[in-house]
Structure formats: C-alpha cells, structure tokens
Structure 1
Amino acid sequence: MRYLTRQFAIGALRRGNGIEQFLGGVEISGERAIRWVAISPMNRQYRVSLHTVQDPDDERVGDLPNLLSLDPTDEAYVGEGRELARSGDAEEAMALAEHLTDADPQRWVNHAVAGEEYMDYVRSRRSTTQAP
C-alpha cells in the first residue's frame, strides 16, 4: 500500500522528508496537463507547492518534476512548483494543502511516489478508452 496514514505523513515531514499527492488531470489553454501538490520541509518550515505540468500521456514517465511546467510563475524554478503556503507546523501544512488544493487526506504518499500515481492514471485512462 503506497498511501501514508496521517501519522506516518506527519512523521515523514518532521524527519525532513517531503510528501506529495497526485491530483489528476486538467486542461490549461486547450492543452492536457496534470497537477500534484507537495509539502517540503525547508528551513524549519513546511512549504506547500502546487505543480501544473504538461501531460505527456506516457505510462513510463514517472519523474514528474522534470516535465514541462504550464504555470508561468513556475518557469523560473523548474520543478519547484507554485508556492501556496508555508507553515511552521507539519499538521497545519497538511491542512493548508488539503484546503487550498482539495487534496484527499487519505492519499498522501512519500516524495517521488506521485509519479507512480500518474503512471496508474495513464494506464486507467487508456484502458477506459480501449474498452469495447
């Protein structure tokens, strides 16, 4: 099981490890895109960031931060995402992320695992379109 319990997610943040959540697909100016939210420990705070990148529609692509950003404010810092909030408390950072992005409290994963969620998303999208 890849999802973290709330306590494990908070523990990961407090140990200095990031967590993230794949939010799904969106359309930006007629182009297919995907989003995910990340919480990263930095300088005794927790940074909440939203990432909006081009959807390559490739189930072999799992390194999401290296995809082309479709968020103009993100272009100067590839892979950093748009900062939505900062907090000195891990639980508050999670609550902020969930509130600001509609993230599901039950679907947090360790850093770099949202790419696996994306690959599952592509596979499920393809199986839906290929069904008779």
Structure 2
Amino acid sequence: MYILHKPLAWTGVGISTLSTVFCPFLRVPLVGNWNLYQTDTSLFVTTIGLLAVCVSLLFIRKVNAFRVVTRLFAGWTVLGFLAVYFKINNYFGMKLVDGVLARTLHLKWGWFFLFLGALILILSARKVKVIKEDQS
C-alpha cells in the first residue's frame, strides 16, 4: 500500500512550477537569461501540463496514478534537459558552427531546481508495509 505525504508533494509541485517560470535555464549572449518558456515553448507547456495532472491527482487522492505521473514527469525533465543540450550542440549540423554555438550558449542552474522538484515529487509517495492481524 502506498501513502502520499502531501506537504512534500506540494513542495515538489511548488518548486517545479516556480523554477519553470523564474529560474534561468539557458544563458544567451546579448539577450540574457532565458526561462523554460523562452527556451522551448512546447517543453514548457508539456511540463506545466504534467504538473497540472499531478495536482489534480493530488486533489482526488489517486496515489497509484500520482506515482505513475510523477515518474513520467521525472522522465520528461531528463528528456527535456537532453533535448536542449543536444539542440545546443547540434543545431546547424556543421561541426565548426555547432562548436561556436555550444561555447556561447550555457545551461544554467534552473535545471537543478526542476530536477529537485521532480525528485521531491517521486519521494512524496511511499510504500508502507501493511501488518495483517489474525482474525481468531
């Protein structure tokens, strides 16, 4: 049986939501820091959509579905990080130009808080041993 530690889950949702809006994810020269929306709009919308599903499952107390969606969210954050990283390093398909682009664009600390929020969400649903009593 699984239980849901709600304060931990709300902390994870809050960290993940606030990090997508307020934390820098990419440093672009002459423009400045970009949050997740400015980095990739579809990545931002899908991330917020998965967080909305997590919140709705948290409200209706479907712990098993919440566990599945939080693991999906954690996988999505890793996939999004890898997509942004490989897009920076292979944007034009030419080694020289991609090398220059990779040296000018820098990943920032917003990814850390997004991963931290996903980890907290995963840790908020725990398995508890059920002790069955003898019915004599």
Relative to the length of structure 2, the TM-score reads 0.26
Larger relative contact order (C-alpha < 8 A, sep ≥ 6)? 2
- Give 1 or 2: higher strand fraction: 1
- Considering only CA atoms, is the larger Rg found in Structure 1 or Structure 2? 2
- Give 1 or 2: higher helix fraction: 2
